[in-house]
Amino acid sequence: MKTKVQTIISYAKLGPVIPVVTINDASKAVPLAEALVEGGLPVVEITLRTGAAMEAIRQIAKAVPKAVVAAGTVINAEQVMAVVDAGAKMIVTPGTTHRMAEVLAEAAIPVMPGCSTPSEALELAQLGFEALKFFPASVFGGTSWLKAINGPLPHLTFCPTGGIDLNSAPDYLTLPNVPCVGGTWVAPSKMIDAGDFDGIVKLAKDAVAKLRG
């Protein structure tokens, strides 16, 4: 588990933002991943919210070796096995029940499980998970929650996601327990559907420039 946690943290440090993406057409997956890599954001979370998501993961894993493709919105054991088979390099969950945490602890690839309360974070830490997703961040206290949790649980790191944009991201990234944030603004669904990958390259570069200084 320790090696998996270290791998997650290394992924989190590859860019200040992990784009959280919803893909409706798998043919857009490879050019999207290429655009994000070019823009300096190589980690991309493909949410399992559409029928195209699994094929999108599969195509990125095969065709864009510089991308770190994560499977997001994973909510059951069947999906865990499916995304591993599709070639995902990491798993992200929106929240984590005790049973799901046990399944994730045995996953073949690293996992960033979701939490929104101190009790959930503590339980995940006891199972060996030390790099967590804080979701939905803006609803459950944002930076105030992260500052507070750093006191009793300073060994944990978080990727806050949910309601974060280019203007609010800097406040999160100044915190010692936040190596990156997750956000949809870098690769909006409308731009993906329209094939505006040059625009996505620009959004990614703008995010890196502002958030990395």
Q: By three-state DSSP, how is residue 126 classified?
A: helix
| Catalytically active residues, by annotation | 45, 133
Interstrand relation of 131-134 and 68-72 (parallel, antiparallel or unpaired): unpaired
Distance from C-alpha of 86 to C-alpha of 182, rounded to nearest angstrom: 22
Distance from C-alpha of 61 to C-alpha of 107, rounded to nearest angstrom: 18
Residue 46 parent element (H or E): strand 43-47
Give me the half-sphere count of Cα atoms (radius 13 Å) on the Cβ side of residue 62.
9
Question: Are 74 and 47 a contacting pair, CB within 8 Å?
Answer: no
Interstrand relation of 157-160 and 131-134 (parallel, antiparallel or unpaired): parallel
Question: Are 146 and 134 a contacting pair, CB within 8 Å?
Answer: yes
